[in-house]
């Protein structure tokens, strides 16, 4: 990693109707980025579109799409060139599957989906017949997202919540990475007035639990190693769970947020768990390890 805090792309998904130019865009994106990302040509959105086209039950496809798009490390590019351009390509090249009638139905369904999903921060919609001219701009945008700080990631979550029904996004997830130097840690978050005591209590419980396990103060009277599965913080408050495990030269920090005020508090919470993870890294006395911070939000919401 060439910077210590990264918001990496898990899957880069290219979607759009037949003859939208997905394959050409896919190939150019790979070439111009030096094969930087795992790029998928079609995914859960196409499964849903074609289920609707053929009047199949869509429950499973909707669930699959929700799981995919609510992983904020997944990024979508939806290509919607003007219909007359798609029609021209059909008349020029034809299609092995579609007729002009079915092609127009598919186009309309993708057009509606693009309008619905364009408000999400991890979805880019390109409405231009010359889609290839956007490749370098997409690469630049994605590279910028991957260098996000905890504050930027918090805004990303807030944008997702703002785009969701009732200003609440449920069951979303994201992962941040660090090279183990934690140079982006901002300890001033511990002085955030409304959460100061709360953060101090979590630090005390977490580090105390780890110390007890390492010194054998547990029900087994057994000294745990840094590879223990018992380094856990749990509570019924907003940051309700944290577990720290060391595997394969990586410290994995997994957090569950029962509830998160994404507009007002989340940026402090993300900076805090980033700080807390650095303290755990230090306490375990591990060196030359990467760090993965996984977060599940059961409810990210905006209070008006």
CATH code for the domain defined by 12-146: 3.40.50.300
- pLDDT at position 248 is 96
Whole-structure pTM value? 0.93
- pLDDT at position 46 is 97
φ/ψ of residue 113, rounded to 5: -65, -40
Burial 237-269 (b: 16+ CB within 10 A, else e): ebbbebbbbbeeeebbbbbbbebbbbbebbbbb
- pLDDT at position 164 is 86
Residue 135, both tokens: 């490749």
Beta bridge mates, 260: 300
- pLDDT at position 98 is 86
**CA gap 29, 136 in Å, rounded:** 8
Low-confidence ranges of the chain (pLDDT < 50): 1-2
Three-class HEC string of the chain: CCCCCECCCCCEEEECCCCCCHHHHHHHHHHHHCCCCCEEECCHHHHHHHHHHCCCCCHHHHHHHHHHHCECCCEEEEECCCHHHHHHHHHHHCCCCCCHHHHHHHHHHHHHHHHHHCCCCCEEEECCCCHHHHHHHHHHHHHHHHCCCHHHHHHHHHHHHHCCHHHEECCEEEEEEECCCCCCCCHHHHHCHHHHHHHHHHHHHHHHHHHHHHCCCCCCCCCCCCCCCCCEEECCCCEEEEEEEEECCEEEEEEEECCEECCCCHHHHHHHHHHHHHHHHHHCCCCCCEEEEEEEECCEECCC
- pLDDT at position 11 is 96
- Domain boundaries, given as residue ranges, for the chain: 12-146, 170-301
- pLDDT at position 28 is 98
- pLDDT at position 1 is 42
Q: Tens of pLDDT along 150-209? A: 999 999 999 999 998 788 999 999 999 999 999 889 999 999 999 999 999 999 999 999
**CA gap 275, 201 in Å, rounded:** 14
- pLDDT at position 210 is 98
């Amino acid at each position: 990693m060439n910077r210590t805090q990264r918001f990496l792309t898990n899957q880069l998904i290219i979607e759009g109707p037949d003859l939208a130019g997905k394959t050409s865009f896919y190939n150019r994106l790979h070439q111009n980025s030096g094969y930087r990302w795992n790029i998928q040509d079609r995914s859960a959105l196409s499964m849903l579109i074609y289920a609707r086209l053929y009047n199949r039950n869509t429950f499973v496809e909707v669930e699959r799409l929700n799981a995919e798009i609510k992983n904020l490390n997944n990024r979508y590019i939806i290509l919607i060139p003007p219909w007359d351009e798609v029609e021209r390509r059909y008349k020029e090249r034809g299609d092995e599957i579609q007729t002009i009638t079915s092609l127009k139905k598919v186009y309309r369904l993708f057009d509606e989906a693009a309008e619905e999903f364009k408000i999400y921060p991890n979805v880019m919609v390109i409405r231009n017949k010359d889609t290839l001219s956007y490749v370098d701009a997409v690469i630049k945008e994605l590279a910028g997202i991957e260098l996000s700080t905890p504050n930027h990631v918090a805004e990303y979550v807030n944008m997702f919540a703002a785009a969701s029904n009732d200003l609440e996004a449920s069951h979303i997830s994201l992962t941040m990475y660090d090279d183990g130097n934690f140079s982006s840690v901002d300890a001033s978050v511990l002085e955030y007035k409304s959460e100061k005591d709360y953060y101090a209590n979590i630090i005390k419980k977490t580090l105390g639990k780890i110390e007890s396990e390492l010194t054998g103060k547990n029900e087994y009277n057994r000294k745990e190693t840094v590879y223990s599965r018992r380094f856990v913080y749990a509570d019924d408050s907003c940051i309700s769970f944290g577990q720290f495990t060391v595997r394969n030269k990586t410290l994995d920090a997994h957090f569950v947020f029962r509830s998160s005020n994404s507009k007002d508090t989340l940026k402090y919470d993300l900076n805090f768990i980033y700080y807390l993870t650095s303290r755990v890294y230090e306490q375990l006395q591990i060196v030359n390890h990467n760090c993965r911070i996984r977060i599940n939000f059961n409810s990210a919401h905006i209070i008006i």
